[in-house]
């Protein structure tokens, strides 16, 4: 099936072809004909399935005839975050190449004056976050009485972020006779109950089981210790053919620390989290999308809906405490039929519980990385110990001595040189974090990087022990 068979006009079919798309995805194939018919939609699809195009394409077709009046948008798309709203706007710009439709983007961190100027000219498509839209409404800069099509995107995220009261207020400002397209990653009981407030006799469309992961994503799990997580991440970045990757942290304060650590080891990385200014967030995201920086360290603000073309890897530096967040995170790669790889770094008993919840949700165990083994159940204190695999019979008291030396080196109280410490660790088979084969780099040294075009990974030789934490 091609896009023209879905009922789209020749101009839209050509615009889609220009972008390199040949066949619609399942969510597009099932949604577009009903949207063109004027039906309300209650849709659910996992990330990376082309959900945005499933409503932007038919909306362009619907809005092709007619003209917007000043401050009276003809359609409205609500998104939970600035990044998602900006992505939808980008999708409209690409697909409407052969149509003269006007658009305004209302998000925080951008000048009110510029947004007001766009509204005053009249817009066919208004894309907004709930808070910024209400700000404009309360200032008398926009009226919603002429909206013919309403899209509520990522409704489950709206619910999680506490935006539903704002959404309900906005919907109350719209004309009752309208078409509503309601999309969510999942159709839980809460979401279905919520949708009843907004849609009328909707066509229910589900193209994937709830909380499923794409078959195109190869998943891996690496066990280490809390103190060796950064070293484990660097090892994965060096061993994998990383074209570009998003690395997720659970806490915003850890993102800057990890970015600094990676830069010290000659990795090029940018941060993306909610405490950054909008201009800084857009700049970081653009440099990553353009391929100027291969690594983006992000909080879950980037986990849902962001479409980063050709993302090769996702790394969970922290195991997400919410199992559904795991699905959304790794859904950034392996999109549009392409293959991707996702690695999760786990350490300690808390992570054991989170991993168990994730595996229960997705219905399968996450394969361990080559050479890795799941640790036995440990106490919190024991989980801090190095993960070396030397047996008691092989190491004996020497192993205890090596462990003591490593502790002294980390605290800065050791008097011996780092070269002596390295030799001692190699002799006893007890390096920090994951054990290494004799052919690989010794503790305190970085392995040579893979030969990747555009990769900024460089061999820095010896690195002080405290930087390897």
Q: What is the pLDDT of residues 59-100, one digit of tens each?
A: 999 999 888 999 999 999 999 998 889 989 999 999 999 998
Asked if 143 and 229 sit in the same domain, the reply is no
* Average pLDDT, integer, range 255-266: 95
Question: Radius of gyration over alpha carbons of the chain, in Å?
Answer: 25
- Residue that finishes a domain, picked among 177, 206, 235: 206
Distance from C-alpha of 130 to C-alpha of 150, rounded to nearest angstrom = 13
pLDDT band at 280 (very low <50, low <70, confident <90, very high): confident
Instruction: For residue 401, tell me if it sits in a domain.
Output: no
pLDDT in the model for residue 374: 67
* Average pLDDT, integer, range 250-256: 90
pLDDT in the model for residue 332: 86
Phi, psi of 431, deg, nearest 5: -70, 165
Asked if 122 and 255 sit in the same domain, the reply is no
pLDDT in the model for residue 310: 86
pLDDT in the model for residue 277: 82
Six-digit token pair at 183? 């999309």
Phi, psi of 368, deg, nearest 5: -75, 150
Distance from C-alpha of 147 to C-alpha of 128, rounded to nearest angstrom = 14
As for how many domains the chain has, the answer is: 2
Bigger pLDDT: 293 vs 289: 293
pLDDT band at 331 (very low <50, low <70, confident <90, very high): confident
Instruction: For residue 264, tell me if it sits in a domain.
Output: yes
Contact 129, 159 (CB under 8 A): no
Instruction: For residue 328, tell me if it sits in a domain.
Output: yes
- Residue that finishes a domain, picked among 174, 206, 238: 206
Instruction: For residue 371, tell me if it sits in a domain.
Output: yes
- Residue 232, domain CATH: 3.40.50.300
Q: Is the pLDDT reported for residue 38 higher than 80?
A: yes
Asked if 243 and 172 sit in the same domain, the reply is no
| Domain of 251, in residue numbers | 217-388+431-468
| The pTM of the whole model exceeds 0.75 | no
The runs of H, that is alpha helices, within 42-143 are 51-63, 82-95, 112-121, 130-138
pLDDT above 70 coverage of the chain, percent: 76
The angle that helices 82-95 and 278-289 make with each other, rounded to 10 degrees, is: 50
Bigger pLDDT: 436 vs 28: 28
pLDDT in the model for residue 210: 58
How large is the greatest C-alpha to C-alpha distance in the chain, in angstroms? 83
């Amino acid at each position: 099936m091609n896009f023209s068979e879905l009922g789209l006009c020749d101009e839209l079919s050509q615009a889609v072809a220009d972008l390199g798309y040949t066949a619609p995805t399942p969510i597009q194939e099932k949604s577009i004909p009903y949207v063109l018919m004027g039906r309300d939609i209650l849709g659910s699809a996992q990330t990376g399935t082309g959900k945005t195009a499933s409503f932007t394409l038919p909306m362009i077709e619907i809005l092709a005839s007619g003209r917007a009046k000043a401050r009276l948008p003809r359609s409205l798309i609500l998104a939970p975050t600035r990044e998602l709203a900006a992505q939808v706007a980008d999708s409209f710009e690409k697909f409407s190449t052969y149509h003269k439709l006007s658009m305004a983007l209302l998000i925080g961190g951008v000048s009110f004056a510029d947004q007001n100027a766009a509204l005053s000219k009249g817009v066919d498509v208004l894309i907004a976050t709930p808070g910024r839209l209400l700000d404009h409404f309360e200032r008398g800069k926009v009226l919603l009485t002429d909206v013919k099509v309403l899209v509520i995107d990522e409704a489950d995220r709206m619910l999680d972020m506490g935006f539903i009261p704002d959404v309900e207020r906005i919907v109350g400002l719209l004309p009752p006779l309208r078409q509503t397209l309601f999309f969510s990653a999942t159709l839980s009981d809460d979401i279905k109950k919520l949708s009843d407030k907004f849609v009328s006799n909707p066509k229910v469309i589900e193209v994937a089981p709830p909380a499923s992961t794409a078959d195109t994503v190869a998943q891996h799990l690496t066990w280490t210790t809390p103190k060796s997580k950064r070293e484990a991440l660097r090892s994965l970045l060096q061993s994998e053919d990383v074209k570009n990757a998003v690395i997720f942290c659970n806490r915003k304060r850890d993102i800057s620390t990890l970015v600094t650590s990676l830069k010290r080891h000659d990795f090029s990385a940018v941060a993306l989290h909610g405490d950054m200014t909008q201009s800084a967030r857009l700049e970081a995201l653009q440099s990553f999308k353009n391929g100027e920086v291969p690594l983006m360290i992000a909080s879950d603000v980037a986990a849902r809906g962001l479409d980063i073309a050709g993302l090769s890897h996702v790394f969970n530096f922290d195991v997400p405490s919410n199992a559904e967040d795991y699905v959304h995170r790794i859904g950034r790669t392996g999109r549009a039929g392409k293959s991707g790889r996702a690695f999760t770094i786990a350490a300690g008993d808390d992570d054991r519980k989170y991993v168990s919840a994730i595996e229960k949700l997705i219905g399968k165990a996450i394969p361990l990385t080559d050479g890795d083994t799941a640790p036995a159940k440990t106490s919190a204190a024991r989980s801090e110990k190095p993960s070396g695999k030397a047996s008691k019979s092989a190491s004996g008291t020497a192993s205890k001595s090596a462990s003591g030396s490593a502790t002294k080196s980390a605290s800065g109280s050791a008097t011996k040189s780092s070269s002596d410490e390295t030799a001692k660790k190699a002799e006893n088979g007890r390096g920090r974090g994951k054990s290494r084969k004799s052919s690989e780099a010794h503790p305190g040294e970085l392995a040579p990087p893979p030969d990747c075009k555009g990769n900024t990974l460089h061999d820095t030789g010896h690195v002080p022990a405290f930087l390897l934490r």
